Structure 1
Amino acid sequence: MTGIEQKLAGIRDADLLQEVEAARGGFLFAQIVEHILHRQRERDATRTAESAEAERRARLGRDQRRRDAVRLVIETQPTGPENLQHIHSVLALCGLPYRDPGASREFSRTYGRNSLSLTAGRLKNPETGAWEPQGLPYGPKARLVLLHLCTEAVRQRSPTVQVADSLSGFMREMGFAVTGGERGTIRQFKEQVHRLAACAMQIGLWDGQGEASTLNVPPFRSLDLWRPQGEGEWSRTVQFHQDFYDSLIRHALPVDVRAARAFSGSARKLDLLFWVGYRLRALQRPLRLTWENLHGQFGAENASIRSFRQAFKADLAHLCEVFPKLPLSLDEGGLVLQPADPGALLVPPRQGIRNSAKQGMKLRA
């Protein structure tokens, strides 16, 4: 077999073979065959890589595939305004309950010298006119509802948000099927809207030297309920408390909605996403948190620090799968977060804050 015949034997794609036949007999036939063979080899390499990638993804679990897909999108598509949601900075530090507190009417969580206190409230039933007690907001859906409502308030530049017109679209964006009925996702999300609107929120600040302050920060001023024909009551509008809204406009924390989608099933991972985003925007020197600090802020569902450490390491590793440039490290003492460009989380830096530290991520057992 001659050299040209060997090259022709390596060309298999139908469209490339047509180009070979069209060039046959021409003055530059050998050079054209060489060029076509090069294109065939490029295609073969691409197909091999795609096949290997498909096999790799097939071995991943469902949640791993979701995180992997989000990482790929984030790496290949730049962050734009359409990808940014917003949440109040204070909510990035004050985590809600992870699980349903049941009949409990109060909840508190301490982070460092500060603490969050929630008290469940009541709402007026639109059909009976009776006061109905609401439970405490909890879980990932409550966090996603807050993210959505804060985002809509920032976008519309209004403390009043039309809930019924926008929540279904947000649910789809987060990867939830929009389903009705007793166990449907619509009911689950609107329940968290009602719990959030009814609850009272306080933040306690302590300097450790004999002085303390208590801040009343109710997010919502009012919630309008209505009862469509044949359905349960539904929230039409939510109005933020004016003080909270004004503070939100000044201190809105950007969150990449694609990352929120990746962690939409985990309350703690969403808390980690918000918390790291908040810290990176202002951090100018390394921040160390002990395991006791971390357990107090993120360990509500883990009674012991030992079980918390295992769960926290796994959750943090999942965050780093999506954002491999996060400047985080874990050791026997706890967590260290290094100053870095907030672009490690693909959110814009806070105006006036410039960090020049190199990015890097290291997780140790």
Structure 2
Amino acid sequence: MENPTEKRRSYQLNKERKVYYPTPLISGSLPYVETSATIWERTNGRDVMRYSAGAIIYPDGTCGHVLPYGSYARHALVFLTTEAVRTGSTRISLKDSLRGFMKQVGLPYSARNAAQLLEQLRRIAALTVDYTAVSKASESVTVEQAGYRVGIRQRLTFSADGDLGEGGGENFIELSRDFAALVLGLDEENRHTMPIDLERWGELTSSTKSPLAFDLWLWLELRDNSLEKPVKISWEQLRQQFGSQAEEMRVFKQKFKTALKTALEHSPKATAIELGNVRGKAKGFKGLEIKPNKGTQGKLL
């Protein structure tokens, strides 16, 4: 019989108590709600990030091409990236590590929550990510493209109630060589991952379920590393990166500002100021100015 103490020891984060998120995916947010689309695009300046859904085979034999979405998709990316960094392996074991991860990041463990996280893990693993950048010169246009699939193999055994079982051996997701190279690199300096303090991530997890708030918090944390002077970002640029073209600007701005306020409460080194907040079609810049903040809590002015 397994010793409970040994089982608790089976999952340990690194000594620095950090979790990790793939840096390139911060610039292009995943869907916030379930969508019937199988391709999802985000624009950030001249760069376009395209997510393509892969095939998911369910225990009843049905197949779905579905994109990851919501806050659990963000947790799934944190889990896969953190486990890769923690173990140095492309094979991510799920059974005990998944339960331990949920506990340490403040996600209440239940069969329902575990099933939601597992579903998003499977969708993330089947995902293909493509980047496109177009540069225009006076007499030429340069197009750059690159891409990768997140995972290359899944092996899962399901019990009768839909939970992960043990009869078929180890439950795991194997990351692709390209994604592993992205998050592991040759050494720590070449990793394309952002370290996140576990306690702060847990506080954010406990305070909100908004995937937009998660994305904005990650975005602010990434900018914090290089934010030495104010940066202006128009509302249209923000909608291309975080919103939907089918969404009215008025609706997007309301959702964005609500989520940004939450993110800033947990990101103390930034202040956001709305510029051009006037009715009508007045000319001039309309958007946000992100400034360094020397206080102890971020602000939206």
The amino acid that maps onto 2:52 is T
1:99 corresponds to which residue?
Answer: 33
Task: Tell me what 2:211 maps to.
Answer: 267
Q: 1:110 aligned to 12, 33, 43, which one?
A: 43
Would the alpha carbon gap of residues 105 and 323 (structure 1) be closer, same or farther in structure 2, given more than 3 Å must change? closer
The structure richer in helix per residue is 1
Residue 252 of structure 1 corresponds to which residue in structure 2?
193
**1:241-278 Cα shifts (integer Å, max 9, x gaps):** 11221221212101223333333311111111111122
Deviations 1:92-135 (A, max 9, x none): 1121001000x32222122222122122221455x67x572241
Whether 2:172 is the aligned partner of 1:237: answer: yes
Contact 1:330–1:362 (CA under 8 A) maintained in structure 2: no
Match status 1:197 vs 2:125:
yes
Alpha-carbon shift at residue 201 of structure 1 (Å): 1.7
Q: Deviations over 1:224-251 (max 9, x none)?
A: 12233x2326481112111221221212
Aligned to 2:107: 176
Distance 1:323 1:205 in 2: 30
Query: 2:279 aligns to what?
Result: none
Report the TM-score, using the length of structure 1 for normalisation.
0.65
Larger displacement relative to structure 2 (80-89 or 242-251): 80-89
Q: Does 1:336 align with 2:283?
A: no
Per the alignment, residue 161 of structure 1 pairs with 92
Q: What corresponds to 1:310 in structure 2?
A: 254
CA displacement 1:70-96 (0-9 Å, x = unmatched): xxxxxxxxxx95442101111111210
Q: Distance in 1 between matches of 2:274 and 2:118?
A: 38
Larger-Rg structure = 1
Tell me how far apart the structure 2 counterparts of residues 138 and 313 of structure 1 sit (CA, whole Å).
Answer: 20
Q: Name structure 1 gaps, 5 residues minimum.
A: 1-79, 345-357
Q: Deviations over 1:285-318 (max 9, x none)?
A: 4322111111111123971222222222222222
Aligned to 2:300: 363
Q: Please tell me whether the aligned partners of residues 76 and 120 of structure 2 are also in contact (alpha carbons under 8 angstroms).
A: yes
Give the Å deviation of 1:283.
4.0
Q: Residue 56 of structure 1 aligns with which residue?
A: none
Supply the AA of the counterpart residue of 1:319: A
Percent identity over the alignment is 28
Identify the match of residue 226 of structure 1 among 141, 154, 157: 157
More strand by share: 2
Superposed CA RMSD in Å reads 2.7
DSSP-derived class of the 2:133 partner: strand
Instruction: Tell me the TM-score normalised to structure 2 length.
Output: 0.77
Unpaired segments ≥5 residues, structure 2? 1-13, 165-169, 185-190, 277-285
Shift of 1:361: 5.0
Q: Distance in 2 between matches of 1:227 and 1:135?
A: 20
1:132 aligns with 63
Name the CA shift for 1:177/1:335 in 2 (closer, same or farther; >3 Å).
same
Q: 1:99 to 1:155 in 2, by over 3 A?
A: same
Match of 1:290 in 2: 234
Counterpart-to-counterpart distance in 2, 1:198 and 1:167: 18
Residue type at the aligned position of 2:231 = L
CA distance in 2, matches of 1:104, 1:290: 27
